[in-house]
Structure 1
Amino acid sequence: MAGLKIGFFGFGYVASTFACGLERIKAGEIDLTGIPLENKIPQHKVEDIEVVCGFDVDKRKTGKTLSSAIQLYPELKDMKAFEKIKIFKGINLNSTEGMPFEGEGLDYDKSLEECAKEITEEITELDLDCTITITATEPIVDVESVDELEKMIKNDQKDKMTASMFYAYCAFSAAKKRGRGIVHINGIPSKVANCPVFVELAEMSDSVLIGDDISSGQSRMLSDLMEHYKELNRKILSAVGANWGGNMDFFRLQDEKRNESKKVTKTGCAQDILGYDLPSDIKPHGYLEPLGDKKAIFMHFPMKLFNGAEDEIFICGRINDSPAAAGMLVDMVRLGAVALSRGEKGVIPPINSFYCKWFGKQHSKILAYQELMGWLGKK
């Protein structure tokens, strides 16, 4: 099978865990636990994936290889392949404001147009098959047309642009330039796969767009529980979903505007699945450094059942954030490549619905899985 060359926009703990786990699988050190479809995608095995590069704005990483940058995560194993994975300077757009490290970006001394040209050329020269945005959570920004987006870049309107928008534009520009589609995954809670402008750019470049926001833990559990009790005709009265973590994403979510982005992607499933509004508060609630990447979660929802009786469900636990997301990405990369090989382009609902928190009208992950299997089995 042909290899699948991957580049990450944002080379933090998720990307590093992805690269580390992938190389350990190839070395026979670990099995495929945590990858939903394992090697059940006949066109592409897990071992076909190759991480080629990354783009970041952390000065401790940029201009270095992953072998050097991985030292920031001592619990991850340095693998020989990391010596070839270079981390280029990405675009900042104030994304490191308030972060506990020194940031830098191409946009510090270059226009958006110059930055776009440079990143597009890197994607083209490296001939990437897939790009993945997994940067820090950012405020949700919308754009009305391709023309408006291109004017924002041409007029250097950095105050109106977000990193996820910019990276998606670069990925599809590179695909159009080389005349071969690309798979672009937006793994954060920003409006890319849910924005008609980026869907149009994907279709214009014969590319596939997957997003928004990887669904890998608490949100998946909540959606399936909602489906379960809906089928039993029990009325859920309210929903609380809270989590606390100590990684850099939770540090960034102390900014209320960015936290609001998470709330948007997490709360949509309740109304879509149940068919009615209910009082809810479902979002990250705090940063606590000792928790690290293993976040603490709490869920509670009361419900009415037969003869006016009421039940209450409480769930609490500790779940790993980044390894769960990395395992999902292993599938997303390969399924995107399958879609491209079939001549499909734009958004692929069965992929987005199962692997992402936010994509159109949502339904439970149990039902989304059945749709995904039906799509994958098509000849």
Structure 2
Amino acid sequence: MLQNNAIRVAVVGMGNCGSSLTQLIHGALSTSANDRYGGVFWANGRPHSNEDFRIVAAFDVDREKVGQDLGDAVEASTNCTPVVWRVPHTGVTVQKGPRLDGIDGPLAESVIEAEVPDADVHQVLADTSADIVVNMLPTGAREATEFYADAALQVGCGFVNCIPIPLATNAGWAARFQEAGVPLFGDDVKSQMGTTTVHQTLVDLIQRKGGQITRTYQMNIGGNADFRNMTDAARRAYKNVTKTSAVQSHVEGLDIPDIGPNGFVEPLGDNKRAHVMIGAELALGMQVEINLNLTVTDSPNAAGVILPAVLECARARRRGDAGVLPEVSDNFFKMPVAPVQKPHPLHAE
């Protein structure tokens, strides 16, 4: 347990995932449900309480959240994830980060930027003694992600990259974090019981039983801001890379088609619906086909993995580990760090 030395977390992006993560820390982990691990994927097999984590800073650009206490920002009208735990007044005010490319594209139509000066992010991280910066910006926000990664480097914070912008899988960024002596975790969080996890598990099972995967695909639709954001092809491309690479790294002898978001359906809200098809050949040429439908609430599904990733990143920082740690990456993130079996230009720069 870490209760006497709580991990000090800076949250970048108070959207649906930020809301779920905040609820998990301030609500769910403080209940008796934590006796059953709180429903969280603790990689070390031990439950933790909300006293192990403290959100000390939060950044966003949305006028519905900037200037609000963290507890109020959780319930902002521009979020659609369920409010399961009402977060009390925290004393932490959401500050405005630089817009950069954070809400370019489709989100510019639904998110109105706060008309206040940008906070000095470097100074805030230093003043709050943040241990870990958690990046939950919209998919495709490359410039903004790199800004916060650079700020974390300068202040000496570990960085958990929950979105598919290439940092841990980019040699240049990995080297910078190694040289700075702080850990970098990423890229693109693999949800607790998400489509990627289920897809990987099924293909692993078939191959362990001696089968050969002959065809497979995956489809995903949802109604939250992330799916709206990825109606833009350029932003969707980042997710295509990480999801495809995650499954490809588990499939032998077959190039699989690109996997990614397939549509924004607003009435679904924070619910994601997915379909996985796997065809395989077994003994004597016997054919088997698995068709699986999955429905999940997207943001809590991610938060249940983001939180233990933060824990492991903080432990790595306190041990003095630096740079990317491939041995822990596959537990938490979609994009394989080493080896990347299906390189892509977006992740090879």
TM-score bin, normalised by smaller chain:
0.7 to 0.9
Structure 1: 5+ residue runs without aligned partners? Answer: 140-160, 176-181, 364-379
State whether structure 2 residue 28 is matched by structure 1 residue 25: yes
1:184 to 159, 165, 168: 159
Q: CA separation in 2, counterparts of 1:27 and 1:334? A: 16
Q: CA RMSD in A?
A: 2.3
Residue 34 of structure 1: aligned partner = 39
Q: CA separation in 2, counterparts of 1:208 and 1:38? A: 17
State whether structure 2 residue 146 is matched by structure 1 residue 162: no
Deviation string for 1:162-210 (max 9, x for gaps)?
11111111111111xxxxxx22100001101111222122122211110
* Conservation of the 8 A alpha-carbon contact between 1:14 and 1:134: yes
Residue 90 of structure 2: aligned partner = 83
* Conservation of the 8 A alpha-carbon contact between 1:210 and 1:347: yes
State whether structure 2 residue 202 is matched by structure 1 residue 197: no
Deviation string for 1:268-317 (max 9, x for gaps)?
13332233232424211011111111211101121112222211110002
Q: CA separation in 1, counterparts of 2:26 and 2:246? A: 35
Q: What letter matches 2:40 in structure 1? A: I
State whether structure 2 residue 42 is matched by structure 1 residue 61: no
2:103 to 96, 108, 121: 96
* Conservation of the 8 A alpha-carbon contact between 2:196 and 2:247: no
Q: What letter matches 1:87 in structure 2? A: V
* Conservation of the 8 A alpha-carbon contact between 1:242 and 1:285: yes
* Conservation of the 8 A alpha-carbon contact between 1:242 and 1:298: yes
* Conservation of the 8 A alpha-carbon contact between 2:244 and 2:256: no
Q: CA separation in 1, counterparts of 2:6 and 2:60? A: 24
Residue 49 of structure 1: aligned partner = 53
How far off is 1:45 after superposition? 5.2
1:137-148 pair list within 5 angstroms: 137-138=139-140
Residue 151 of structure 1: aligned partner = none
Q: CA separation in 1, counterparts of 2:53 and 2:169? A: 27
* Conservation of the 8 A alpha-carbon contact between 1:268 and 1:362: no
Deviation string for 1:226-284 (max 9, x for gaps)?
21112223221221111111110011010011111111001113332233232424211
Q: CA separation in 2, counterparts of 1:202 and 1:124? A: 17
- Count how many residue pairs are aligned between Structure 1 and Structure 2: 326
Residue 19 of structure 2: aligned partner = 16
Q: CA separation in 2, counterparts of 1:26 and 1:251? A: 30
Counterpart of 1:173 in 2: which secondary structure?
A: helix
Q: CA separation in 2, counterparts of 1:124 and 1:340? A: 16
* CA distance 1:67–1:46, shift in 2 (3 Å): closer
**Structure 1 length normalisation: TM-score?**
0.80
* CA distance 1:55–1:251, shift in 2 (3 Å): same
* Conservation of the 8 A alpha-carbon contact between 2:165 and 2:187: yes
Residue 326 of structure 1: aligned partner = 303
Deviation string for 1:110-169 (max 9, x for gaps)?
8xxxx8xx2111101111011100111006xxxxxxxxxxxxxxxxxxxxx611111111
* CA distance 1:105–1:211, shift in 2 (3 Å): farther
**Structure 2 length normalisation: TM-score?**
0.86
* Conservation of the 8 A alpha-carbon contact between 2:213 and 2:254: no
* CA distance 1:344–1:41, shift in 2 (3 Å): farther
* Conservation of the 8 A alpha-carbon contact between 1:63 and 1:86: yes
State whether structure 2 residue 15 is matched by structure 1 residue 5: no
Residue 222 of structure 1: aligned partner = 199
Q: CA separation in 2, counterparts of 1:91 and 1:238? A: 44
Q: What letter matches 1:90 in structure 2? A: G
